[in-house]
Amino acid sequence: MLRRGLASGALVACLLLPGVVWAQGWDVEEGEAKGPPRLVGVESPGPVPERGRWTLSLDGRFFGGVEDRVFGSGELVYGCSGTMELGVRGSYSDRGALVGPSFTIHHGGTDVEGFLRYRPAEYPGTSLQVGVAFPDTPAQRGAFVTVGGTAERALGSHVRLVLHPRIVFVERPIVGIGAGVVVKLSDRVELVGDGTAVINGWNTYSVATGRTRAQPLWSGGVRVSLGGEGQGMWLTAGVTNALGATTGFGLSPGLGGSASAYVGLTVRR
């Protein structure tokens, strides 16, 4: 298990390195992110951290289909310095069970994650994150290390591309490679979209057989700035198949291909 975890960690590092090099073409003055780090399903480096400044994010995911439940998430991030942020986030849903012909899939539960995010000054447009998650779900229970990184590059003044590899070190580590795009429509409105491929581990169950399997994640939406200059408030509405905002729930899709309506609010002060 340790060997597999180390191999997966090395894989994430190797995938992140090209992103660091790629992000060096990022024009800080032209393309600096003003909105929150989270698109919907993936994260960008976001604005440069500021000591004493905090960001609060809340979202709801209203699933139909087989999943047929509501997931809620919250995140609080505090700026410790110009390069470091400390955060805690959690996702929750009531529990349920899907009964098949010869199996039962239990789903729902909670996940709480504490993390430290580092944004190196010498590499604009990148960040590294390490955390510990405490899931309480039918699939996982205990404490697990999470690792991730983000890289961002502006294409002119209206488009930003995002790279977001991440991993949860469960018994069979789940490794996801995410990518996203932010398109600026006006000073207040942006389109956001993302997708994540799971290249190691199993992140859901087949509703036909009850066996574990890997399934990609996807999201899309519209983000609107609600605050004036320096106020920092954003509302995002869209669709996603990811269960929540933690690393673990963010790498887990709704059962049976279920999708959700997504509403998220972020406030920065």
* Amino acid sitting at position 90: G
What's 141's DSSP letter? B
What CATH number does the domain located at 2-268 have?
2.40.160.40
Amino acid 157: pLDDT: 87
pTM above the 0.85 mark? yes
Q: How many CA atoms lie within 13 A of 91 on its CB side?
A: 24
Contact indicator for 97, 106 with CB cutoff of 8 Å: yes
Amino acid 146: pLDDT: 95
Amino acid 231: pLDDT: 61
Compute the distance between CA of residue 255 and CA of residue 266 in angstroms, rounded to an integer.
27
Amino acid 124: pLDDT: 77
Name residues of the chain where pLDDT drops below 50.
3, 26-32
- Please name every residue paired with 179 in a beta bridge, in sequence order, or none if there are none: 163, 195
DSSP per-residue codes, 173-184 = -EEEEEEEEEEE
Report in angstroms the alpha-carbon separations of 117 from 85, 148, 183, 265. Answer: 5, 9, 25, 21
- The beta strand positions in the chain, using DSSP E, are 54-63, 70-79, 84-99, 104-118, 126-136, 144-155, 159-168, 174-184, 189-200, 204-205, 212-213, 217-225, 233-240, 260-268
> What are 21's two structure tokens?
């090099």
Amino acid 17: pLDDT: 55
Amino acid 28: pLDDT: 44
Amino acid 19: pLDDT: 61
Amino acid 33: pLDDT: 52
Amino acid 125: pLDDT: 85
Amino acid 18: pLDDT: 52
Torsion sign over Cα 5, 9, 14, 15? positive
Amino acid 156: pLDDT: 87
Amino acid 30: pLDDT: 44
Q: Which residues contact 161 (CB under 8 A, 6 or more apart)?
A: 152, 153, 154, 155, 179, 180, 181
Contact indicator for 22, 229 with CB cutoff of 8 Å: no
